Structure 1
């Protein structure tokens, strides 16, 4: 599997888990599933960052997202 794809999927999972986390805290529930998804997201991002030969730079992240989406749409 492509390292950039793992990074992008991990970032998307992490982004989607934040509203679930906030919703659980607002309803005074334990955010079990949100915590699991944040953990999965963190593991995926960490794995991708360690396996990539050159580190991810903040200025490159938009290029990584666009290249992954373009690669799998076309």
Structure 2
């Protein structure tokens, strides 16, 4: 079974992006950002897994193409 590293990368980036507002909300309310920490851990793990599983890894300019490929796969 082939590993879809593009999917891991895209999901990881989205999860980390969702954690950013959660961090700011927790700090503004004086709470510990537990949920945001878990989101960063999960998203970061997915990104690291995608970077290590893909032969040659990813470069910054490859990220938009990964999003397009994942969206294209979902549309099929």
TM-score range, shorter chain: over 0.9
- The aligned length equals 74
Classify the secondary structure of the residue corresponding to 2:37. helix
Aligned to 1:50: 52
- TM-score by structure 2 length? 0.91
- TM-score by structure 1 length? 0.94
- 1:26-74 deviation per Cα after TM superposition (whole angstroms, max 9, x unaligned): 1110100000010011111001100000221111110111111111122
- Which of structure 1's runs of 4+ aligned residues deviate more than 3 A? none
Aligned to 1:68: 70
